[in-house]
Structures are given as C-alpha cells and as structure tokens.
Amino acid sequence: MGVEIIEGTSHKPASTSELLRILRDQDEVSGQLFTGYPIVATSEGPYPIDALMVAEDKGIIVFDLIEGTSEGDYGSRQDDSANLIEARLRLHRDLLEGRRLRIPIHTISFAPGISNLPEPNTYPMSGIENVVNVLQRFRWDDPDQAVFQSALSTIESISTIRQSRTRRTVNVPNSRGAKLKKLEESIATLDNPQSKAVIETVAGIQRIRGLAGSGKTIVLALKAAYLHARNPDWRIAVTFNTRSLKGQFRRLINNFSLEQTNQEPNWDNLRIVNAWGAPGGVERDGIYYEFCRVNDVEYLDFRTARTRYGRQNPFSSACEVAFRASRDSTPVYDAILIDEAQDFSPWFLRLCYQLLRNPKRLVYAYDELQNLSGESLPSPEQIFGSLDEGTAAVGFSETVGDGPRRDIILQKCYRNSRPVLVTAHALGFGICRQPQAQTDTGLIQMFDNPMLWTDVGYTVVSGELEDDKRVVLQRTPDTSPMFLEDHSKVDDLITFIPFRSEEEQTNWLVGAIKKNLEEDELRADDIVVINPDPRTTRTNVGPIRRRLFAMGINSHLAGVDTDPDTFFQLDQESITFTGIFRAKGNEAGMVYIINSQDCHSSAPNLASIRNQLFTAMTRSKAWIRVLGFGAEMQELIREYEKLKASNFELDFTYPNAEQRKQLRIVHRDMTVDERNRLENRQRSLADLVGDLQSGHLHVEDIDQDLLTKLKELLQ
C-alpha cells in the first residue's frame, strides 16, 4: 500500500507540498500520483493539471489544488480538468466500451489554506484533515488491469511515443513482423523509475544511469519536452555524442509535445545540438562552438584539435583549453540535457555547467557498462565540486527528504532480451574466454566498483562481489522482462553463424535479408547490418550492398550516403549499413553483425574491439545474428556456447586491484602511431633474439648496463 509519488514542476508549491506530505505518511490509499503533470492541449494553449492519481481500485483522480484562502470557482475548474482528461482518454479505443469510458474519473479540490470549507456538494473539496477520507470514498466498481495499464500509459503520453517509426502492417499472426509489433506494444508504459526520471527535475545537477536499452534516450527526450511545455520561455539544449541521434531526439520531442500541448515545440528555445559544432548556421551549431563564441575564446575544429593535441581525445583537450580560457563565463541556457555522457570527458560536462544560469539545471545520462572498461565517469562532486576555477560546489550525496532524486538508476532493460544482454556482457568482459597464457585469467576488462553489477540489475546467485572471490551473477524477470525472450526460442533470439570465407558470409546474408523482407514481414528499417571495425566498414559492406542492389533491395551506409545526422532513411525502403560509432544510440528488430571474427583477439586493442562487439549486440531489440569466418570465429563461438550451457549466468573470479590494473595495460587502446611503434620495437627485439639464438651475436656483445635494465624491467 501507499502512494508512489512522481513530482513534476508545480506552479502551486504550497498546496502541492502539503498534499505530498499527507499522502507520503499514510497507507490507506495507494496509486501513482503525478504533480504538475500531465499537460493537456486546449484551444487556448497548454493546460497543466495540478495533480493526478491513477489507482487500480479507484481509477483516475484529478486534483484541483488551491493556493491561499479563496476557493474561487472550483466546480468549473474540476469540470474543465475532468473533461480534458476524458477527452484525452477517449482517443484510445481500448479505453472505450461503446461510448462509455471504461475507467472512472473522479475530481477533488484540495485547499490546505482554507479553514471553513464549503458544504459538501457535487464537487468534493477537502482540507488537510480529511483529504485521505475523501479519497477513500472514490471507487472503481469493475476494475480491469489491462484498462488500468492502458490509462496509465495514456496519462504518461508514452503510448504513441514508443510506437514504431512508421506504421506496421502484418498479415501472418506469428511472423517476425507480428512479434515485433507485439513487443513494441508491450513496452508502451514506462515503469516508475522512468516516469520519475522524465517528470522529476531538481534545481541543480541530476544524473540518470542505466544499461543500453533501459530508456535513457527516451527519458531525456520526454524530459526536455516536458520542461519546455511547463517553461516555454526557458532556453533548453539537448546534446549527445552520436550525431545520428539528432533525428531520433527531434521525433520523440515533437511527438510528446504534440500529444501534450497540440503544438510543435519552439525550436528556437528547445535546441537539439551537437556536442562539438562548427560555424555555418543553426544545423551545424554545437555546445562547444557556442561556448567559444559567447566567451570569445579560440574555437578548434576536429582537424586542428587532433593536430595540436593528438588522436587520443582531442575533444576533451579542446574543451579543457576553452574552459580554462574563459574567466567570466556567460550563461545562456536554463537547462542542458546530455545523453551518452560516458563518451564525454569531465571537461565537456564542466563546460556545459558554465553555460547554465542559476540554479544550474544539468541532467546527464550514461551507461556505466557501455565502455566496459574500469574507467567510469567521476562522481558529480569530483566533476563539478572540486574545481579551482570558481565553479560552485555541488552537493550530490543525498536527495533532500522525499523530493525528486538527483541520482536515478534505470535497472530494467526494455531493448535486449536476457540471453542477448548477458552474452554481450560476457563477450565484452571476456568472462568465458580461454586464457592464452599462464598469467592470463581470460578476462579482458573489469570495472573497479563491483557493486555496479547490482546497480544495473544483476543479482548474486552464489559467491561474493569482492576481489579474488568467485561470483555467479544472473538477471531476473524484474530487470529483464520475460516478454522480451518468450516470443522466440533462444537459438532464434541469438545465433552465431560461422562461414568458411567472406564470400560465403555475403551469400548467406543477402539471402537472409531477402527472406526478412519477403516472408518475415519485417520492414527495411527493422534491419541493421553492423561492421564492428569502423576503419573497414565502407570496404567490407560494398560487396553485400551490390548484391542487394542487384536483387532490387535498396541500402545506404549511414553517415556516408546520408547526412551525418541521419541513420534510418524513413522516406524510402532502405537497409541500414553502419560502422559501430554511428550505430550507438540506435536499435532495430533484426541486427546482423558481420566479420565478427575480428572481435576475438586483437592485441593490444582487445578491450576496444570487444567493446565494439558489445555495443553492436546491444542494438538488437529482438533477434541478432553474429556472422564471421575462420578459426577466430570458432573461438568466439566457443565462448558463447560455454555461456549458453550455464543458462546465461556469469561465473568468474573477480580480479583484484592489481589484476585490474594489469588488464588495463595489456588490453589498452592504442593509437595508430603507438601500434606502429610497438610493432617496430617487437620486430627489432625478434631480430635480436634470432641473432642470439643463431650465434651471430653473443650476450657479451650487448651493453651490460642495457642488459641489467632489461632484466629489471622484465622481472
């Protein structure tokens, strides 16, 4: 029992605070309570509902909150609110039986500042003492769980937001297209943590953490649209790392705004901008470029930054230099929302913080496991609160009272089924990898904080999440819903397919895509083909695309045949081919990963390569095909078969601090120059060893000081 409270932006703070205080301290009434939400479209503009509760035993309760000591025409306000909510619900056929709405709507005015309430009449009113008693009188005589869920989805305005990009038509009841349609309908309602993340906003910094597929991008898009609807004069920015997310953000925000307010957003105030940006107009604008422009500091494009600071992370260096160069930063935004924050350095987040007016509303979402390495983003206190450049300290350790949370964790994954998600993690971390040497544990990488596993929805089956302790982890139906895997057998959800050659891989793939379109009732935008190595994508996908074209099937290479902001071509039937970086943030029903053999072993960049495979696998919301050829593909399959035999449980010994440090050294990412240098030195060392073995050189010929230093280093 009890009320789940989702606290939005309210323009009636006193009465809202009193209502929340009362409902938090009682257990006679239960349901989900939204404050400052939803916003309903009217002919006179957006109409925010003061508060609304959805309860399984009562239906919908609409609150009219009264500030001060005058009730005014509260009956008319109750009528207006109830009529607007009913009009919204009536747009959904599953909520109607003939002309009758299948869920009751009750209204109540809550007036904590009025001591002498009007006599009871058609329009219920309560004060502080009797609000719970009045709520208990409301009844839903014939409650229906399906109707309740549909009504909740409609109130949250998620039912149309999560719909497929284009209308899906199916004729065969059990086709892949039919299964995908059912999947999309099943995830229409947000869970409570997601609802909180959308509606609740703190006066300061808020972070949202979750796995790929937990809804972070949708939450940020809806949050931006909600803030814009409540505060149309605010200047709000939404930014991200993957440029192909721009169209997705615009679609989600626009759909939510239309459903909430019946108006498109004011795109001058609600801006969807790239992180870097460049001169050339609104479409090329970016957060970093705008920071440089308004603060009159030097702007660096990618080529200049790479030349000046190297290939490793030129954007981070450019942001740091710009930040340090701005003495008195000019704030230009009221709120900034950042997606994919794990791909940015703290310097970019600090730069965003400096662009904000008080109270510095910054929301950043990230996936702690997206990069899989031990290096996660620092804590908010470290990023924002320990600066010498004048940035205000950030108190982030706790949420004050029962108010909006500063730190939201989305544990439930709504994209990847349990077998797909666990396989992606197992391959990414090397948990089932065969050790290659005596000192090799098989593991490729591991993060330092073991409790991150439970934060993102894994539970401990046996053992302990501690250094040098064996542990067995699994995902449960609470965090990996069963409907994501019940629609197909495991061997159909995820399949590893070995080939003898690249040509054989191409022949199989074009046949599979043809079958998807002609027999499986999948649309072209349900299919994505990913080549994990971005350096070889254009070359590797060429033969496949030519074969498809000869069969009359269109395709495009995202970001090459399209502009950088476009991933799916929705205006034409076209299969998306992509490298891994443009695939991030996107999803499809059927994902094909080609040339997966390249992901088995690639010293010394193995961690980076496995991250690419992990990211590619987590793009799938239904089925995935991992394709490759040669001996290394067989080794990758052995890892998968070992995991599958354990019923997709992760069984490993948690590496200690020294082992984790060693993993980061052995499997670290290297630049091209660093790899070339290593290869040259290895060849020189091999030549030296060969000469010593053959007798062309003797140990005595080598400088003894150099030999001593070499022995010390090797020991």
Same domain, 283 and 369: yes
Instruction: Kindly tell me the sign of the dihedral angle through the C-alpha atoms of 698, 704, 707, 712.
Output: positive
166 within a domain of the structure (yes/no): no
pLDDT given at position 516: 97
Q: Is residue 165 part of a domain?
A: no
Angle (nearest 5°) at CA 359 between 50 and 255: 50
CATH of the domain at 142: 3.40.1350
| Domain stops at, among 156, 174, 201 | 156
The answer to whether residue 184 is domain-embedded is no
pLDDT at position 374: 40
Is residue 295 within 8 A of residue 265, CB to CB? The reply is no
Q: Kindly report the length of the chain.
A: 715
Alpha-carbon dihedral of residues 440, 443, 449, 455, nearest 10 degrees? -160
Q: Is the dihedral of CA 30, 31, 32, 37 positive or negative?
A: negative
pLDDT of 654-667, one tens digit each?
999 998 888 775 44
Count Cα neighbours of 162 within 13 Å in the Cβ-side half-sphere. 26
Token digits of residue 281 = 């107009």
For 689, other C-beta atoms within 10 Å of its C-beta total 11
Residues 143 and 267 both lie in one domain: no
Tell me the pLDDT tens digit for each residue of 488-527: 999 999 999 999 999 999 999 999 999 999 999 999 999 9
Which domain does 483 fall in, by range? 418-663
**Is residue 452 within 8 Å of 210, Cβ to Cβ?**
no
CATH of the domain at 443: 3.40.50.300
pLDDT category at 677 given cuts 50, 70, 90 is low
Q: Provide the pLDDT for residue 421.
A: 95
pLDDT band (50, 70, 90) for residue 606: confident
Same domain, 380 and 479: no
* Angstrom distance (rounded) from CA 699 to CA 702: 6
Same domain, 424 and 396: no
Domain match, 399 and 422 both: no
Split into its structural domains, the chain has a count of 4
Nearest partner of 587 among 619, 618, 613, judged by Cα: 619
Beta strand pairing status for 45-48 and 39-42? antiparallel
Nearest-5° Cα angle at 227, 224 to 231: 140
Residues 568 and 616 in one domain: yes
Question: Edge-to-edge strand order for the sheet containing 458-463?
Answer: 458-463, 470-475, 650-653
Q: What is the CATH number of the domain that holds 334?
A: 3.40.50
Is the same domain home to 230 and 143? no
Q: What percent of the chain has pLDDT over 70?
A: 90
Does any domain span residue 577? yes
Query: How does pLDDT run across 543-585, given as a tens digit for each residue?
Result: 999 999 999 999 999 988 887 778 888 778 999 999 988 888 8
**Position 397 pLDDT exceeds 80:** no
Q: Using 50, 70 and 90 to split pLDDT, how confident is the model at 73? A: very high
Q: What is the mean pLDDT of residues 6-31?
A: 90
- Same domain, yes or no: 579 and 656: yes
Residues 505 and 617 grouped into a single domain: yes
Residue with tokens 């002309």: 99
Residue 414 has pLDDT above 50, yes or no: yes
Q: What is the pLDDT of residue 392?
A: 47
pLDDT at 640: 97
Q: Are residues 262 and 389 in the same domain?
A: yes
Q: How far is CA 396 from the centre of its chain?
A: 22
Beta carbons of 365 and 209 less than 8 angstroms apart: yes
If DSSP codes are grouped into helix, strand and coil, which group holds residue 374? coil
DSSP 214-274: SSHHHHHHHHHHHHHHH-TTS-EEEE-S-TTHHHHHHHHHHHHHHHHHSS---TTTEEE-B
- Asked, for residue 252, whether it belongs to a domain, the answer is yes
328 with 352, same domain: the answer is yes
Spatial separation of the C-alpha atoms in residues 265 and 255, rounded to whole Å: 10
In our burial notation (b when 16+ CB lie closer than 10 A, e otherwise), range 516-537 reads bbeebbbbbbbbbbbbbbeeeb
Indicate the residue among 131, 156, 181 that finishes a domain: 156
What's the whole-model pTM score? 0.80
CA–CA gap between residue 338 and residue 207 (Å, rounded): 9
Whether residue 170 is contained in a domain is answered as no
Q: Give the residue from 104, 131, 156 where a domain finishes.
A: 156
Same domain, 538 and 617: yes
